[in-house]
Amino acid sequence: MAIFGSSLFGFLIAVAILVTIHEMGHYLAARWCGVKVLRFSVGFGPVLIKWIGKRSIFKGTEFAISAIPLGGYVRMLDMRDPECAGVKPSEGEAAFNTRPLWQRSVIVAAGPIANFLLAAVLYAFALAAPDRDLAALIAAPEASTPAAAAGLHGGEKILRMNDRAVAHWGDVRWELLTSLFQQELTLDVESRGIERTYTLQRRAEDAGVAPASVGARLSGWGLGFDQPAVIGTVKAGGPADKAGLREGDRVVAVQDIRVRQWSQFTSAIRLAPDQPLRLAVERSGSRQEIVVTPRKESVSGQTIGRIDVAAISALKLGDSWVVDRERTVPDAVVAAVQRTVDATALTVRVLWGMLSGEVSLRQISGPITMAEGAGVTLNQGAVAFTLFLAIVSVSIGVLNLLPVPMLDGGQLLYHLLEALKGAPLSERAEAFGQRIGIGFVTALTALALYNDFLRIIS
């Protein structure tokens, strides 16, 4: 119940912030262009709370909080609206449909633009905060991966990826995301005081093959972080707990084979379902031997072993394993703008990948996944929640610019056709487009909810 509560609370906060900023973009642009705004609502459906703005640019507008927290709207004076039939002719100039085409386009585009600006501001705040993460040390790659084929052995420290500097593994993760659809990845690394450059290439047989998920592409390079094999959390009643493993135990050998990295330890566990394994661990300065039997579990049709443990948090590791970083405000602003551009390009590319078949449609998620993400990041702290809001804000901005009627991008498409034609589209054409838009949005929503429930069930 506590997890559900934090997810719901985080979801409501996220929606309130993201919707308010998006609609405020439309609102401010409308008022700047002299358009009268009748209502500003956060949420759809029955109005729960409402009040009339009395000062400055908010004067005369009805502000409302509505029952369904899945969006919002700004209702402007429009002479085509039947409910505005009684408007005085003198007020016609304050109607949306009577404004010049460029002003109407600015008003429509202002919502998504507000989302991109919000993302940049959020990224700036998050990136200006003190940062602590695992050092950018590479774990020993598996033999069949591009990392191994390029000649990486493990233990190298990544300095740059595709000529962009990285400080720790958090930067590496982001650069891997921005390189999601690349077939080649360049790494500048340091090993034993010597700098070398490696070029990783995806296998030819993988080119053009649609992966099951974005995660499949990320892991396809064979790059993993080098982390010591130190036990963090141990699940009560699991195989590790029954065998006597405790938080802080450092695994130094499995079946007399030396282990240095967490990935080596977990690989040995995965390969031995229902088989007793002899572990040598260091605890409080002394060495002990523990026998653990991984339980059997089926994952994607493959049987693997699990002992129900997690690696120790990076915050609890020594200075040789982690990197602390603080950015100046100007550096944070520059990094935030770059991060917003990267996130926007990545979102567009993933959407195109879904259309082209490169990315599975199962990557589309809905409000349930968003609520879970909001709850998890809210529990992790202000910085994590701020980063979550930033990436969702970018997604909202991109999605609203899709050239689909019912969305801001669809309205901008109407405006483009109006500019080419020299006159507005007919009401019949716009109504037909609206029906297409409703069908698209309904289908997209249904798919997102289906993926949410399928993920929960499975």
pLDDT tens-digit readout, 148-162: 888 888 888 999 999
Q: Which helix (H) or strand (E) holds 199?
A: strand 194-201
Q: Do 109 and 138 reside in the same domain of the chain?
A: no
Q: Do 449 and 336 reside in the same domain of the chain?
A: yes
Q: Would you place residue 342 in the very low, low, confident or very high pLDDT band (cuts 50, 70, 90)? A: very high
Measured distance between the N- and C-terminal CA atoms of the chain, rounded to whole angstroms: 20
Q: Would you place residue 21 in the very low, low, confident or very high pLDDT band (cuts 50, 70, 90)? A: very high
Which of 166, 186, 219 is where one domain is finished?
219
Lowest mean pLDDT among 210-214, 401-405, 451-455: 210-214
pLDDT tens column, 406-419: 889 999 999 999 89
Task: Report residue 230 as tokens.
Answer: 């130190």
Q: What is the mean pLDDT of residues 39-44?
A: 90
Nearest to 118 by CA among 376, 330, 397, 412: 397
Specify the pLDDT at position 5: 60
Q: Do 454 and 383 reside in the same domain of the chain?
A: yes
Task: Identify which has the larger pLDDT, 66 or 373.
Answer: 66
Q: Do 369 and 268 reside in the same domain of the chain?
A: no
Does any domain span residue 380?
yes
Specify the pLDDT at position 292: 93
Q: Do 187 and 255 reside in the same domain of the chain?
A: no
Q: Do 332 and 393 reside in the same domain of the chain?
A: yes
Which of 219, 245, 274 is where one domain is finished?
219
Q: Are 363 and 213 in contact, with CB atoms under 8 Å apart?
A: yes
**Does the pLDDT at position 98 exceed 90?**
no
CA distance 248 to 334: 39
Q: Would you place residue 212 in the very low, low, confident or very high pLDDT band (cuts 50, 70, 90)? A: very low
Which of 257, 282, 311 is where one domain is finished?
311
Neighbour-count burial of 241, counting CB atoms closer than 10 A to its CB (0-12 exposed, 13-18 middle, 19+ buried): middle
- ∠ at Cα 343 (324, 388), nearest 5°? 60
**Does the pLDDT at position 197 exceed 50?**
yes
Q: Would you place residue 307 in the very low, low, confident or very high pLDDT band (cuts 50, 70, 90)? A: very high
Q: Are 114 and 22 in contact, with CB atoms under 8 Å apart?
A: yes
Taken in order 411, 413, 414, 420, the sign of the CA dihedral is positive
Neighbour-count burial of 321, counting CB atoms closer than 10 A to its CB (0-12 exposed, 13-18 middle, 19+ buried): middle
**Does the pLDDT at position 457 exceed 80?**
no
Specify the pLDDT at position 2: 47
Please confirm, yes or no, whether 23 is among the known catalytic residues: yes
The residue type at 115: N
Where in the sequence is the domain holding 108, given as residue range(s)? 101-130+328-458
Q: What is the mean pLDDT of residues 65-80?
A: 86
Q: Are 314 and 322 in contact, with CB atoms under 8 Å apart?
A: yes
Q: Are 76 and 28 in contact, with CB atoms under 8 Å apart?
A: no
Lowest mean pLDDT among 216-225, 232-241, 395-404: 216-225
Q: Do 192 and 256 reside in the same domain of the chain?
A: no
Q: Which helix (H) or strand (E) holds 446?
A: helix 427-457
Total domains in the fold of the chain: 3
**Does the pLDDT at position 347 exceed 80?**
yes
**Does the pLDDT at position 209 exceed 70?**
no
In degrees and rounded to multiples of 5, residue 435 shows phi and psi of -65, -40
Q: Would you place residue 300 in the very low, low, confident or very high pLDDT band (cuts 50, 70, 90)? A: low
Does any domain span residue 440?
yes
Q: Would you place residue 86 in the very low, low, confident or very high pLDDT band (cuts 50, 70, 90)? A: low
Selected catalytic residue, list 23, 156, 175, 372: 23
Specify the pLDDT at position 40: 93
Does any domain span residue 88?
no
**Does the pLDDT at position 200 exceed 70?**
yes
Q: Do 190 and 252 reside in the same domain of the chain?
A: no
Residue with tokens 């915050």: 315
Specify the pLDDT at position 458: 54
List residues bridging with 424 in a β-sheet: none
**Does the pLDDT at position 210 exceed 50?**
no
Q: Do 430 and 349 reside in the same domain of the chain?
A: yes
**Does the pLDDT at position 6 exceed 60?**
yes
Q: What is the mean pLDDT of residues 84-96?
A: 67
Specify the pLDDT at position 398: 93
Residues of the chain with pLDDT > 70, as a percent, come to 90
Average pLDDT, the chain: 85
Q: Do 194 and 119 reside in the same domain of the chain?
A: no
- Whichever domain contains 267, its CATH number is 2.30.42.10
Q: Where are the beta strands (DSSP E) in 213-360?
A: 231-234, 250-254, 257-258, 277-283, 286-292, 295-299, 302-306, 309-311, 322-325
Q: Do 333 and 252 reside in the same domain of the chain?
A: no
Does any domain span residue 267?
yes
List residues bridging with 141 in a β-sheet: none
Lowest mean pLDDT among 117-126, 250-259, 390-399, 424-433: 424-433
Q: Do 340 and 453 reside in the same domain of the chain?
A: yes
